[in-house]
Chain A
Amino acid sequence: MEASLARAEAPESAPDPTAATEAATLEVPPELVAQSLGEWFRAWTTRIRSGDSGVLPVILGLILITIVFQAISPHHVFLSADNLVNLFQQSAVFMVLAMAEIFALLLGEIDLSIGYAAGVGGAIAVQLVQPTTTRWPWWGAIIAALLGCALIGAIQGSLITRLRLSSLIVTLAGLLILNGVMLFVLGLGPFSGYPSLAGANPNLQFLYQLMWGTIDPTVSWVGMAVIVTALACFLWLGDNRRRQSGLVAPPVSLTLLKIVLIAVVAIVVVAICNINRAAFGTLEGVPWVIPIVLVVFGVWTVLLQRTRFGRYVYAIGGNPEAARRAGVDLAAIRTWCFVFCSLTAGVGGLLYASYLGGMSNNVNGGQLVLYAVAAAVIAGTSLFGGRGKVLHGLLGGLVIGGIYNGMYLLGLDVKPQFIVTGLVLLVAITIDALSRRGATSGSAARV
């Protein structure tokens, strides 16, 4: 950062190529040049001191939230198995909505309608499975809800890309329209706006279990072991192949460290979930919602990191003109991003309906979308496009869920919760804007 600022002041005075190379080293991701773990760690600390910190702040934020709420929550229940599982379930909706929002943010756009798109999706599914009215099977209801959400994205995306309207305005209108649509859908049938998922009907049950169903503890362990082993093999073989063919690759120790980290997190999560958390009887096992969220995370990560589509999304976010000159069909990629954004919001809506055990007139989609944006930005996704990862949705969603959960434990109502979450969002976007200003003043000098 310092180096690039220096260059900004003296754009023409960099004839010494070694100076430029030295300046560049500061900004090179450490894993690219380090040969050993020690070297990697030193490069990493340099990078953090120079202002580019990756996911470190959000991890520190999570630790801080944990310490504070553990200390001040009544009977120190924050870290109890019961509450942690509850926390995962509350966070799941924020995580999925944040992962949805990332599709818009990566383009440098925003989608303010996803809260109510989720509401519409949830409402459609809950209404369709009602045994007294439409009696759809659960799978039909889910497909209809997701298709409906995808259609919402396609319409908004087309307006934004084909007619070149501002995404902020289009989706702000969308927020209002979809709020109305959600209320309209909820008003159908004899449920006076509150269709419920309570009851023994298998289709109602299926939707209810999305959030509240649990996987048998033994199956949880085995499934976890299989997934972690597969991931470990994938990481290890990939990095190894690259190391052996002389391509840019992290040191062996770092690959191992990553694998160990993944395994530890997975084991801790499964262990917590497998503790019996019922006051009477048994309630144990990993809730279904965790693998559901992980599938969304995995699919979107592969799409954005390993496919041509994903590469173009980042290119458009970084420099749309460069993408255009490279022959990328900007309108198509942008429209698809809005489709995926609303579609993912639909998944969030299904989980939210399941969490609420039905759907209600009171669903606040405006608040949900702000939480989603806050989650993504807190974890390091930029509002200016081109920078961000699906992983940020998971981590940021956990932060928002943590604040929400902690304040609930303290018996606080929504007033301080709104204020605190809003402040967190404000801090995150301030940091985002400042770090971008630093970066552009540097690159302006370079061009």
Chain B
Amino acid sequence: MEGVAEVVSESRVAAEPLLKARGLGKHFGPVQALYDVDVDLYAGQVTALCGDNGAGKSVLTKCIAGIYQIDQGQFFWEDHPVHVRSPRDAARLGIETVYQDLALADNLDIVQNMFLGRERLNNGFLNEDDMERSAARTLSSLRVTTVRSIRQPVASLSGGQRQSVAVAKAVMWNSKLVMLDEPTAALGVVQTRMVLDLARRLRDRGLAVMVISHNLNDVFEVADRIAVLYLGRLVVQDRASAFDRQSVVDYMTTGASSRTVQRSDADGGKPGQG
């Protein structure tokens, strides 16, 4: 738990992806939400996952998080094949998710939400003091300082504060991969900045971060890598420097782009194939 406080200083950028997904497929009844998706997420990098509404971004996130089970495909975690069948499996690997539909209980306070499902016990009873101290430490290490009391119910927080709590909850657990699904969609300017700064701070600690957004300002502000989903297919993923706004828009809206920015395949990025 305290791992989050130490900055991982050795080579931030690993050569091999932390998580490799190969050939993922997912359908809901007749609706095929994902087709043969290959995606790589690297430690120490922010990967932006872009795509139009309904492209399958949230479904992909939930498959990685174990909320949905994939129909086809395989995950590799640090190069080992793994199964992710439940949120518990994902948590065991070190995968944490901040969902688009925030998964906080309004009636519980900040500490209770941050420890939900992983309460610390003392002789079988909740160890509130210990949990409160750890929560306070995590929040201050992320410089989330605007909340008045960490014992206030989440219902009384502003949108940005709630998002910060959700992010802090995700990084409490020695997590290695944090996925943020449209974290800034409902936020104002100041609060958006707050959340993007948080994402960068996680990356600087050596975590793999995936940020979903269709706001290109946000994407180009934080992303080291960009991946684009189009109608359930992953059409391109590469270093952010290989894209410009227009090419990302092209991929998002048509699944292809005729523009070529300077290419770099050095990190195994998969050039457009749609």
Check if A21 sits within 8 Å of B186, measured CB to CB.
no
- Bound-state CA distance A25–B152 (Å) is 9
Say if the beta carbon of A432 comes within 8 Å of chain B: no
B67 proximity list for chain A (CB < 8 A): 325
Check if A25 sits within 8 Å of B148, measured CB to CB.
yes
Contact of B156 among A17, A24, A327 (CB under 8 A): A24
Say if the beta carbon of A60 comes within 8 Å of chain B: no
Contact of B160 among A17, A247, A323, A325 (CB under 8 A): A17
Contact of B190 among A17, A29, A245 (CB under 8 A): A17
Interface 9-mer from B9-17, B117-125, B253-261, B262-270: B117-125
Of residues 13 to 49 in A, which have CB atoms within 8 Å of B's CB atoms?
13-17, 20-21, 23-29, 32-33
Q: Which residue of A lies closest to B104 (CB)?
A: A322
Given A15-B191, A245-B133, A447-B186, the answer on whether A308 and B121 have CB atoms closer than 8 Å is yes
Check if B107 sits within 8 Å of A247, measured CB to CB.
no
Check if A308 sits within 8 Å of B119, measured CB to CB.
yes
Contact of B107 among A11, A306, A325, A387 (CB under 8 A): A387
Check if B126 sits within 8 Å of A24, measured CB to CB.
no
The distance from the CB of B204 to the nearest CB of chain A, in whole angstroms, is 23
Residues on B close to A: CB < 8 A? 65, 67, 86-88, 91, 97, 99, 101-108, 112-113, 116-119, 121, 124-126, 129, 132-133, 146-153, 155-162, 186, 188-191
B191 proximity list for chain A (CB < 8 A): 14-15, 17
Q: Which residue of B lies closest to A325 (CB)?
A: B103
Q: Which residue of A lies closest to B132 (CB)?
A: A247
- Bound-state CA distance A16–B159 (Å) is 12
The interface size bin for chain A is 35 or more
- Bound-state CA distance A29–B102 (Å) is 23
Say if the beta carbon of A443 comes within 8 Å of chain B: yes
Given A20-B161, A32-B149, A32-B152, the answer on whether A311 and B106 have CB atoms closer than 8 Å is no
Give A425-447 as 1s and 0s: 1 = Cβ < 8 Å from B's Cβ atoms. 00000000000000100110111
The 7 closest A-B pairs by CB, nearest first: A326-B117, A20-B158, A15-B188, A318-B105, A318-B107, A27-B156, A386-B107
Check if B158 sits within 8 Å of A14, measured CB to CB.
yes
How many interface contacts (CB-CB < 8 Å) are there between A and B? Answer: 144
Q: Which residue of B lies closest to A302 (CB)?
A: B125
Say if the beta carbon of A162 comes within 8 Å of chain B: no
Contact of A247 among B118, B133, B186, B189 (CB under 8 A): B133
**Can you list 9 A-B contacts with CB-CB less than 8 angstroms, sorted by A residue number?**
A14-B159, A17-B160, A17-B191, A29-B152, A247-B132, A248-B132, A327-B117, A386-B106, A447-B159
Say if the beta carbon of A321 comes within 8 Å of chain B: yes
Check if A443 sits within 8 Å of B106, measured CB to CB.
yes
Say if the beta carbon of A135 comes within 8 Å of chain B: no
The distance from the CB of A310 to the nearest CB of chain B, in whole angstroms, is 8
Say if the beta carbon of A76 comes within 8 Å of chain B: no
Check if A328 sits within 8 Å of B117, measured CB to CB.
yes
Check if A326 sits within 8 Å of B116, measured CB to CB.
yes
Check if A24 sits within 8 Å of B157, measured CB to CB.
yes
Check if A17 sits within 8 Å of B106, measured CB to CB.
no
